[in-house]
Amino acid sequence: MADIIQLLPDHVANQIAAGEVVQRPASVVKELLENAIDAKATSIKLIIKDAGKTLVQVIDNGKGMSLTDARMCFERHATSKIRKAEDLFNIHTKGFRGEALASIAAIAHVELKTKIEGEEIGTQICIEGSHVNSQEPIVTPTGTTISVKNLFYNIPARRNFLKSNTVEIRHIIDEFHRVGLAHPQIEFILLSNGTSIFNLPSSNIRQRIVNIFGAKTNEKLVPVSEETDIVVVDGFIIKPEFAKKSRGEQFFFVNNRYIKSSYLHHAILSAFEGLIKDSSQPGYFLFLEVDTQSIDINIHPTKTEIKFDDEHSIYAMLRSTIKHSLGQFSIAPVLDFNKDSGLDTPYDYNQKKPVPPTIEVDRNFNPFQRDSSQGNFNPTYKREKTSSWEAMYVGLENGASVEKFSKHDLKFESDEVTGNLFDTNESERGRSTFQLQNKYLISPVKSGMMVIHQNLAHQRILYEELLKNITVKEAVSQQLLFPLQIQLSSIDIAIIKNIQEQLEHTGFVFSAFKEDTLEISGIPVTITESQIPSILEQLINDINEEIPEPGFSQNDLLAKSLAKSFAVKTGTSLNKEEQEHIIHQLFACKEPTIAPNNKPILITIDASDLDKKFM
C-alpha cells in the first residue's frame, strides 16, 4: 500500500494557522498592537483603510529589531518570549507563540520597517503570501512600522465571509478599546480613512475610561479595590442605575491581558442581584493581578480564555469585593444600626441640664358628676335647629297619603357587561376574544380556535408600518415641549448620525448632534419620551451585531429593531378593544403568520384535536 501521509508545505501550513489566529481585520489589529506593547513602546498609532480590508498599519516608537530579528519574526514558532516549556507558566508579555506575523504574512501583503536605537539605518522587508520579495536598508525612525495590505487576497473565500465595513470597524474599535484600557500609560491614536477616531494621551485608568466612553462616564464609576494573597482586584464598576440591556461596557483583565470569562461574569451578576433588572447587564472595568504560575494562557489561539488554578476562590473574592464597594459608596441599600447624627444634642444645649416636663392635672374633675345648676343629668342630645329636617315632612300633614308604586317601576343603574362566559348569541360568540396569561390572544374560528402571540403579532404590524414610513416618508411626529438630551459615546453618536434620515422618516426629529450628547425634539406618536433611551440602546446594539450594506436592507434592519422596541411586551394586559384591534390589524398585513424574526405568530387548534383529548 502506498504511503498517503505527507508533510504540508510551509505556505499551506501558515494559511491553516492563519485561519485560527486571523479571523478578520480586528485580529490583525490585536496582534500588531500587542507586539508594539511588547516592544516597550510609549506611543502607538493605528491607521486603517476600508475597515482594515485595504490597510492595517501600526507605528510604534519601541525598541525595534535588528536585521536578523526582522527576518526571523516572520518564521513559524520563532519567538523571543520563551525558551522552554516551563516558560509557558511564567508569561508577562502579550505574545509568545511566534505564530501571528507568520500567519499574517501568509494571507496578505506585509511591509516591515524597523530600526533599533543607536543604529543609523534600519531594515525594510516586503513579503507577499509568505514569500519575501525584497529586503533592503532604509532610513526610518527608531521603532517599528508594519503595514498589512489586501488581507485575504489569496483566500477569496475567507474574504467573502467578512462583514460590511461598519461591522468590521466596530470589531477593530473593540480591540482598540481592550488594548487601550489595559495600558493607560501608553499613548494611542486611531485613524480611519484619514479621520481621527481616538486620540488617547497617557493617563491613569479612570481618565482613560473617560477618554474612550465620554465625559459623562466619570459620574457613573464606582471604584473597586481589594488585595488578597490569591488575587488583587482593582478597577471600576458602573452604578446600577446606568445598567444597559447590551453587554457593551464589560471588561475583564488578568495581568493586563483582556479575557472573556462567563464564570467571573456570573460573580458580578450575583453581586448586583436585586439592584438591576433581570434583563439588564452591569458595566465594569476590572483588573485582576494573579500569580503567573496559577493561570494557563495557552488554551486558546486568541489567548482570550485562560484557566485558573483556584477559580472558586477568585469567584468568591470578586463577588464580595463588588458587594463591598456597592455598600461602601452607598450604592446598595444597607441596614445601619449606628446612631443617627440628626439625633445628637445641638451645640448650644450641650452644657444645659435637661428639665423634665411637668403635667398639670385637675384632680377634682369628675365627668360623671351631676351639675346641680342643670338639675337632673339628661344625656339626651337636643337639636337646636329643626327646620332642615322638618322640611322633609312637608306635604304629609293631616294624614296625606304617600303615592304607592310597585317594584316594577324601579330602575337601577347597571354596569356595562363586557362579556359572558356562556353567550347565547352565536354571532357574538364567534367574534369574542380573550387573553391568556397576558401573552396569547385566543380567538374562536370555525374549525376550532386560533392562538396568537401578542408581542410577535404587534411586531409584524409595526414592522410593515415602519417600513412603509421609511420608504414612503409619511411618518407622523409629536414635538416635545423640552428637547430630550441623551448621553452616548462618540461611536454611538456616529451610528445614529449615519441612519439619521431613516430615523426621521419613522417620526424622530434630531435638533443637535454633539460630541457625546444627542438632542431629540420630536418622537414617533406611538411611543413615550421615557422609552427613547432604551429604544436607541437596542437599536445601536442591533446595528453593532449585524448591519448590512446601505440601501433597502438597512431600512429593513432598522424597521425590525424599532418594531421590536415599540411592540407591546409579553405580560401586558389588554382590554377587549385592544385585543380585537391587534387581531384586525394583523390580518391586514401582507404576512400575518410570520414575525419579522421569522418566528410563527399564530397556531390553529382544530376542534377534532380537542375531542381526542377527551376520548
- For residue 500, pLDDT beyond 90: no
**In CATH, what number is assigned to the domain containing residue 75?**
3.30.565.10
Please tell me the predicted confidence (pLDDT) of residue 452. Answer: 93
The answer to whether residues 499 and 557 belong to one domain is yes
* Domain assignment present for 585: yes
452 phi and psi angles, rounded to 5 deg? -120, 130
The answer to whether residues 190 and 217 belong to one domain is no
Beta bridge partners of 523: 478
Length of the chain: 615
The answer to whether residues 464 and 555 belong to one domain is yes
Please tell me the predicted confidence (pLDDT) of residue 406. Answer: 55
What predicted TM-score, i.e. pTM, was given to this entire model?
0.67
Rounded Cα gap, residues 120 and 137, in angstroms: 10
* Domain assignment present for 92: yes
The answer to whether residues 253 and 112 belong to one domain is no
* Domain assignment present for 270: yes
* Domain that residue 254 falls in: 209-328
451 phi and psi angles, rounded to 5 deg? -110, 120
**How do residues 542-576 score in pLDDT, each as one tens digit?**
777 665 444 446 678 788 888 888 888 888 888 88
| Span 298-305, average pLDDT | 67
- For residue 304, pLDDT beyond 80: no
**In CATH, what number is assigned to the domain containing residue 575?**
3.30.1370.100
Helix residue ranges, H only, 272-379? 311-328
Name the one residue in this structure whose C-alpha cell is 423640552: 482
**How do residues 484-498 score in pLDDT, each as one tens digit?**
888 887 788 888 888
pLDDT class for 80, splitting at 50, 70, 90? low
Rounded Cα gap, residues 90 and 93, in angstroms: 9
**How do residues 314-361 score in pLDDT, each as one tens digit?**
999 999 999 988 888 766 655 555 555 555 666 666 677 778 888 888
Please tell me the predicted confidence (pLDDT) of residue 4. Answer: 78
The answer to whether residues 112 and 193 belong to one domain is yes
The answer to whether residues 162 and 251 belong to one domain is no
* Domain assignment present for 353: no
Number of domains in the chain: 3
- Nearest Cα to Cα of residue 25 among 189, 166, 183: 166
* Domain assignment present for 381: no
The answer to whether residues 172 and 41 belong to one domain is yes
- Most confident listed range (175-189, 400-414, 493-507): 175-189
Q: Say which DSSP state 276 is in.
A: S
The answer to whether residues 213 and 283 belong to one domain is yes
Q: Which of 328, 350, 372 is the last residue of a domain?
A: 328
Q: Which amino acid is at 554?
A: Q
The answer to whether residues 180 and 237 belong to one domain is no
Residue with more model confidence, 26 or 477: 26
The answer to whether residues 315 and 256 belong to one domain is yes
Contact 480, 521 (CB under 8 A): yes
The answer to whether residues 158 and 264 belong to one domain is no
pLDDT class for 138, splitting at 50, 70, 90? very high
- 169 Cβ partners below 8 Å, 6+ apart? 48, 51, 52, 192
Q: Which of 328, 363, 385 is the last residue of a domain?
A: 328
Please tell me the predicted confidence (pLDDT) of residue 544. Answer: 73
The three three-digit cell numbers of residue 110, written as one number = 506585509
The answer to whether residues 309 and 448 belong to one domain is no
- Nearest Cα to Cα of residue 155 among 56, 30, 12, 21: 12
* Domain assignment present for 369: no
* Domain assignment present for 85: yes
Rounded Cα gap, residues 79 and 268, in angstroms: 37
* Domain assignment present for 406: no
- For residue 424, pLDDT beyond 50: no
**In CATH, what number is assigned to the domain containing residue 247?**
3.30.230.10
pLDDT class for 183, splitting at 50, 70, 90? very high
> CA-based angle 390:391:397, to the nearest 5?
80
Please tell me the predicted confidence (pLDDT) of residue 514. Answer: 80
